[in-house]
Amino acid sequence: MIGIVDTEITKQLDLIKTFANELHFKEICQFELNEKLENIPWNNLMHSGLYLIEVRNNENFELFEEWVNDFKFRWEDKSYLKKFTPNFKLKRIKAHNELKEWIPLYIGKSKNIKTRLHGHIYKELGKTTFAMKLLARENMKQETFRISVINLQLTNYDAIIPVIENQLRNKINPLIGKQ
């Protein structure tokens, strides 16, 4: 009996993965950390789904390797390490070989994207909640970030969203995160 259930779940997971490969993030806004962040439309983020945070290539470098080495050096400054913040993933860095206008930093999921993104931006370094803590990173103040989302209101959120998130993470290869 369990073998039948396992076979059926495998079929459904394959359907979810196929669906995930057809999804596209919708750009919501761009922001800089040195402004009041007033252009983030928080009311448009009050839903469940997935979010993507990207950083704009500042065009100071010609090669991706040069850009990522500089950004990684600043991101992993000793002031920010071991502060419940995500770090770079070598396998995801290796998946990129060209320097594009927007570089994917982080993909996440949440039942309330507004609350989760607010934490990624405003959470203080001393807090134990795992987040990017962007405003606390003084060396990121001149960067431009972009938020994009996929709105997915699902009854079986806890079963489906992690599969979609993993599929998109493997496709987009954000540079930082737990996975």
The DSSP result for 62-98, as a single string, is SSHHHHHHHHHHHHT-TTTTTSS---B-HHHHHT--S
Neighbouring CB atoms inside 10 A of 86's CB total 20
Q: Which of 75, 67, 69 is nearest to 101 (CA)?
A: 67
Secondary structure percentages of the chain, helix, strand, coil, to 5:
40, 20, 40
CA torsion 130-118-163-57 (nearest 10°) is -90
Question: In this predicted structure, what is the pLDDT of residue 39?
Answer: 85
DSSP tag of 34: T
Q: What is the pLDDT of residues 98-154, one digit of tens each?
A: 999 999 999 999 999 999 999 999 999 888 889 999 999 999 998 999 999 999 999
Question: In this predicted structure, what is the pLDDT of residue 81?
Answer: 81
State the total domains in the chain: 1
H helices present in 22-156, as ranges = 64-75, 90-94, 113-122
What's the CA gap between 131 and 121, in Å, rounded?
8
Contact 122, 135 (CB under 8 A): yes
Q: What is the pLDDT of residues 37-83, one digit of tens each?
A: 888 999 999 999 999 999 999 888 999 999 999 999 999 998 888 88
> How is residue 59 written in tokens?
């065009």
The residue range of the domain holding 159 is 1-177
Q: What number is the average pLDDT over the span 25-37?
A: 88
For 102, phi and psi rounded to 5 degrees? -120, 130
Element (H, E) at 21: helix 2-21
Q: Which of 100, 71, 67, 109 is nearest to 88 (CA)?
A: 71
